[in-house]
Structures are given as structure tokens and as C-alpha cells.
């Protein structure tokens, strides 16, 4: 395989993480509107993650938070976001770097991004694994599709690797 001197994986990763950052910035300014709400999954021991010790113990690898009805103090910075959520009826401030995210989903509009770390856990150069979007379901199976091609259903995770030339 030819060496990628441009760094397309890093560029794609940065672009898709900026989608998360911009979505959170909009919510920071105007709140959640309509059916929008977010499920954010992140590595709990990623450098820069700040969560209470009891959450680290309960979720030693990965944790999902939901921003929907009860969250406070959302602040979006260049490399991380901060939010206060309630756990065990106690408010807890969280700080989560965007590079700690492994998934971002807005179920209200069937949109999501999934990130998988490349190499060692916590390595900054994460590779984008897949994108989930609201895709129209085929009315009936496509008889013209090749055996290796299958119709994509709504909300199905599609791997970007399947579109890359090998």
C-alpha cells in the first residue's frame, strides 16, 4: 500500500469530530429543539476525561451519557466539552475531550458517528469507523444488485472502509 503523506484518516476524523463540536455549540446557544437529543459514548480513562471516581469504577472502559432533558452548564471548548449531569441524585461535572468519543448519536433524526481508536487505546490519531445516517429503506430487494451489494436499511451503520480502494 502506498504511504499517505496527506493524512486522510486524520483529516476525516477531525472533520467528523467537528460535526459533534458544532452540534454541541448550537445546543449550548439555543438548547435542544424538536426531537434532537444526544447519546455520547466515550473512553472513561482517556487523557483529559474528568468524571467522578464512582463513575470510573462503575464504567472502567467506556460510558454513554445522554443530553436530553436534564443537563446543565454545557460549555463547548475547542478540544473538549463540559456538562453537568445527575448521577445517584447528585450533580456531577464532566469534562470530555472530543478525542475520547467513540460514538455520537442523535436518535431523534437517526444520525450518528462512530469512532474507533487506532492502535493503542487513547491514541490521539483515531480512525473513523463508520457513519450512520437516515437512509431510505428500499421498497423491495433490488434484483439488479450484485451478490456483494446489499440494500442499506435506515439507521444501518455503513463502514467507510467498504468504499476505500484496496
Q: What is the pLDDT of residues 91-119, one digit of tens each?
A: 899 999 999 999 999 988 889 988 865 43
Check: pTM over 0.75? Answer yes or no. no
Residues 107 and 71: beta-carbon distance below 8 Å:
no
The residues, ordered by sequence, that sit 6+ positions from 33 with a Cβ below 8 Å of its Cβ are none
Give the DSSP per-residue string, 25-66.
Answer: HHHHHH---TT--EEEEEETTSTT-B--HHHHHH-SSEEEEE
Residue ranges covered by each domain of the chain: 8-161
Domain 8-161: homologous superfamily in CATH: SspB-like (2.30.30.220)
Residues 20 and 113: beta-carbon distance below 8 Å:
yes
pLDDT of residue 108: 86
Lowest mean pLDDT among 6-20, 50-64, 123-137: 123-137
pLDDT of residue 90: 86
pLDDT of residue 166: 54
Q: What is the mean pLDDT of the chain?
A: 76
Amino acid at each position: 500500500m502506498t504511504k499517505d503523506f496527506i493524512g486522510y484518516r486524520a483529516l476525516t476524523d477531525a472533520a467528523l469530530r467537528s460535526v459533534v463540536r458544532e452540534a454541541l455549540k448550537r445546543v449550548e446557544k439555543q438548547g435542544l429543539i424538536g426531537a434532537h437529543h444526544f447519546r455520547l459514548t466515550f473512553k472513561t480513562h482517556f487523557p483529559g476525561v474528568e468524571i467522578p471516581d464512582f463513575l470510573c469504577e462503575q464504567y472502567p472502559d467506556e460510558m454513554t451519557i445522554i443530553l436530553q432533558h436534564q443537563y446543565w452548564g454545557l460549555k463547548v471548548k475547542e478540544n473538549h466539552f463540559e456538562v453537568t449531569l445527575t448521577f445517584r441524585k447528585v450533580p456531577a461535572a464532566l469534562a470530555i475531550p472530543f478525542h475520547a468519543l467513540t460514538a455520537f448519536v442523535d436518535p431523534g433524526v437517526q444520525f450518528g458517528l462512530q469512532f474507533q481508536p487506532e492502535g493503542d487505546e487513547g491514541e490521539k490519531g483515531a480512525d473513523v469507523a463508520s457513519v450512520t445516517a437516515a437512509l431510505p429503506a428500499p421498497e423491495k430487494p433490488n434484483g439488479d444488485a450484485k451478490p456483494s451489494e446489499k440494500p442499506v436499511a435506515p439507521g444501518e451503520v455503513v463502514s467507510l472502509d467498504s468504499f476505500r480502494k484496496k
